[in-house]
Chains A and B, each alone.
Chain A
Amino acid sequence: MNASPVILRTENLVRTLTTEALPVTLIRGASVDIRTHEFTAIKGPSGSGKSSLLYLLGLLDAPTSGRIFIDDFDITDYNQKRTAQIRLEQMGFVFQFHFLLPEFSSVENVMMPMRRLGKLNDREIRKRAIEKLDRLGLADHLDKLPSQLSGGQRQRVAIARALANDPRMIFADEPTGNLDSESSKTVQGILKDLAHQDGCAVVAVTHDPEFAKNCDRIITVVDGQIVS
C-alpha cells in the first residue's frame, strides 16, 4: 500500500484563530502524507481539532503557518481563486450534515460541480450525474428535492456530488455521524471502493471505532496535534 504516491503533503501546519478574547490554536504543527488508493481515517476526542485539520487539508481554510503541497507543488500561498479551482477539479467534500442545496433536486445538486467546471454539455452532464446517483442506488430519486429524501439518501446524494468531477481526493467529515448502522455500512463501503477501485485519496473524520477499523490508516489527533 505504501507504494501508492503521495498526493497531498503538509509540513508543520499551525492554525490559530484570533477571537475577541484570547487567540485559540486549533492545530499545532501537523505534518501528514495523504496517498492515493488509501482510505485514511482521522480520529480523536471531541474538540481535538479533527474537523479543523480536514478543512486545512481540503483548502477550505488557510493555515497560520506551515506548508501544503499537492503533487509536490507548494500551494500554500495560492489565492482563493486558485484554491477554488483545485477544489473544483480535484477534490470532493462530504460533510456530516449532508450539505445539499435545498432548492435543487438530487440530480441538479450532482450536476452543479460539473456545470461550474463547464467541460461537458448539459446533456452529457445530466447523463453522468444520473450514473453517479445510480452507483449510489438513487436512480429512483433523481428529481426529488433534498427535503423529500431520508437522511441516508441525502448523504448518498452528497457523496454522488463529491464524485461529480472525478476528484483525486475526497474529504469526509463524519459522513456516517447521524446514520443508522445499515446506512453507515453502505457509506463506508462506497468510500472504501472509491479508494481501492477508483484510486482516490479518501480522508474521513470519524468517531466510530468500527469505521476506523475499516480504513487502511488511522491518524489520531489529540489537542491539535497528531499523535499517531
Chain B
Amino acid sequence: MRLLVFIALKHLLARKRQSLVSLMGIILGVAFFLGISSIMQGSEEDFIKRLVDNSPHITISDEYREPRIQPAEKVYQNSLVSIRNVTPLTETRGLRGYEKILNELRSTPGLLASPVLAGQGIITYAGQEKAITLSGMIPEEIDAVSTIRNYMVEGSLDRLFGNPDGILIGINLAKDLSLSLNDMIAVVAPSGDVKHFKILGIFKTGRGGYDRGQGFIHLKRAQTLFNKPNRINSILVKLDDPQLALSMSKDIENVIGYKAESWQEQSADLMNTLVIRNIIMYSVVSAVLIVAAFGIYNVISTVVMEKHRDIAILKSIGFQSEDIRRIFLIQGVLLGIAGNMVGIPMGIAMIKALSQIKFKPPGSSDIVYMPVSWGWEQFMIAASFALCASVLAAYLPARKGAQLMPVDVLRGGS
C-alpha cells in the first residue's frame, strides 16, 4: 500500500499545475461550504433565538383541540346518531379555574407562567379611533414571560407596577394618533364601556403591526373592561430550555384539557421555511463540490490517459489490475485530503472574516454583526463530502486504467 501511495504521489507531483487547479476546486468548494453554511446556520439560530425570546414558549388558550362531545353521543354510544348544526352555548369564555392551573404550572421546575386576558378595544383620541388588542397582565410578571421591557423607548415598564390605570402602547400607534407619554386616552370596550388610561410607556419592537395594534394594561382593569371578572383567556409560559416546549405542551394539554401550543407549533410555517432554506443552501454548496469533483475526474482521467505506458510497465513487472486501480483511487483520496487540509483553514478564515462584517438590518436602528455559527458537524459534512466526491471522481478513470492490458499498449506503442 505504501508503494502505491508513493507511486500515486509521484504521478500527481509530475503534473503540479493540473493537480493544483483541480485542488483549487475542492479547496474553494470546502471553504465556501463552511462559509455559507456558517452564515445560514448563524442566521437561523439568530432568527430562532429572536422567535423564542420574543414569544411565549407555550401558550395555553381557552380552546379545545377537539370539539366537545355532545351529551347525546354519550348516551347513545355505538349507535347511528348524527348531530348537526350545533350552536355553541353562549357563555362567558375563558380558562375555568385558572388559579389552580397556574399553581400547578408554577410548581413545575424550570417553568414560569403568567395569566393574560386579551381583548379588543377601540382607542379614541382627538376624534380619531383605532382598534387595538389589549393584553391584561400582571405587570410584575410581564418580565417573566415577555421581552417587552427591552423594547421600551419612552417611559418604562416599571411605571405600570403601582399604577392600575396605566397603559403601554406601541410607537406606531403613538405616531398615528399623535400621542405622547403621559397623555390620557379613552378605551372603548366591545360592550360599550369606556375607561381612561394614562400612557406610561411606549415600545418599539420593529414589527409594524405589533407596534400599531398592541397595548398592555393591568389584568384587573382588563377583567372589568371586558366584563369578565376572574377570567383569563390564556396563560403564557416560558421555559428554561425552549427545546422542551413541544413535549411539555403535550403534557400540559393532557393534564388540563385546554389547548397548549408550543412556539414550534405556532411558527410551524416559519420553521418549514427554514428547512427549505437549508435544502436550497446545501444543494447550492453541494453543486460547488460536484463541480470540483469534475475537476478531479478531469485530472485523473488525464493522468490515466498519459500513463498508459506506465500502466503497461507496472503490469508487465507484475502489478495486478487491483494495484493499478488503487494507485488512481489514492490520487483521488490524496487530492481530497489536500483539498480539505487547505480548504478547512480557509473556510475558518472565511467564517472569521464574515463574523467581522457589521451591517444595519432594515427596520432596525442598531448596527449588528453578521450572525455566524459553526459546529463540528459542518466540518464533518464538508470534509466527508469533499473526500467522497474526490474518490467517486477518481473511481471511473481508475477502473478504466485497471482494465488496460499491457499488450494493448505494447502493440500500439512499439
Interface residue ranges, A against B (CB under 8 Å) = 51, 55, 58, 60-61, 80-81, 84-89, 91, 93, 95-97, 99-104, 112-113, 115-118, 161, 165, 173
Provide 5 A-B residue pairs closer than 8 Å at the C-beta atoms, listed in order of the A residue. A51-B410, A60-B316, A60-B410, A89-B318, A101-B310
For the complex formed, measure the closest distance between the CB of A55 and the CB atoms of chain B, giving whole angstroms: 5
Chain B contact residues, majority secondary structure: helix
Residue B271 is within 8 A (CB to CB) of chain A in the complex: no
Residue B53 is within 8 A (CB to CB) of chain A in the complex: no
- Given A99-B313, A104-B10, the answer on whether A113 and B318 have CB atoms closer than 8 Å is yes
Residue B405 is within 8 A (CB to CB) of chain A in the complex: yes
- Given A103-B10, A104-B10, the answer on whether A95 and B317 have CB atoms closer than 8 Å is no
Set of chain A residues within 8 Å of B13, measured between Cβ atoms: 103
Set of chain B residues within 8 Å of A55, measured between Cβ atoms: 406-407, 410
Please tell me which one of the listed residues B318, B407, B413 contacts residue A85 in the complex, with CB atoms under 8 A apart.
B318
With A and B bound together, what is the CA distance between A60 and B319 in angstroms?
Answer: 12
Set of chain B residues within 8 Å of A93, measured between Cβ atoms: 316-317
Please tell me which one of the listed residues B11, B319, B320, B414 contacts residue A95 in the complex, with CB atoms under 8 A apart.
B414
Interface residue ranges, B against A (CB under 8 Å) = 3, 10-11, 13-14, 309-310, 312-323, 405-407, 410-411, 413-414
- Given A51-B414, A99-B309, A103-B11, the answer on whether A60 and B317 have CB atoms closer than 8 Å is no
For the complex formed, measure the closest distance between the CB of A187 and the CB atoms of chain B, giving whole angstroms: 17
Set of chain B residues within 8 Å of A100, measured between Cβ atoms: 313
For the complex formed, measure the closest distance between the CB of A183 and the CB atoms of chain B, giving whole angstroms: 18
Q: Which 7 A-B pairs have the closest CB atoms?
A: A88-B318, A87-B318, A103-B10, A61-B407, A84-B320, A60-B406, A115-B3
Please tell me which one of the listed residues A80, A84, A97, A116 contacts residue B3 in the complex, with CB atoms under 8 A apart.
A116
For the complex formed, measure the closest distance between the CB of B21 and the CB atoms of chain A, giving whole angstroms: 19
B410 touches A95 (CB 8 A): yes
Residue of A nearest to B402 (CB): A80
- Given A51-B410, A96-B414, A99-B312, the answer on whether A161 and B317 have CB atoms closer than 8 Å is yes
- Given A60-B407, A97-B414, A116-B3, the answer on whether A80 and B320 have CB atoms closer than 8 Å is yes
Residue of B nearest to A81 (CB): B320
B10 touches A173 (CB 8 A): no
With A and B bound together, what is the CA distance between A86 and B319 in angstroms?
Answer: 10
Set of chain B residues within 8 Å of A104, measured between Cβ atoms: 10
Please tell me which one of the listed residues B3, B10, B316, B411 contacts residue A58 in the complex, with CB atoms under 8 A apart.
B316
B320 touches A103 (CB 8 A): no
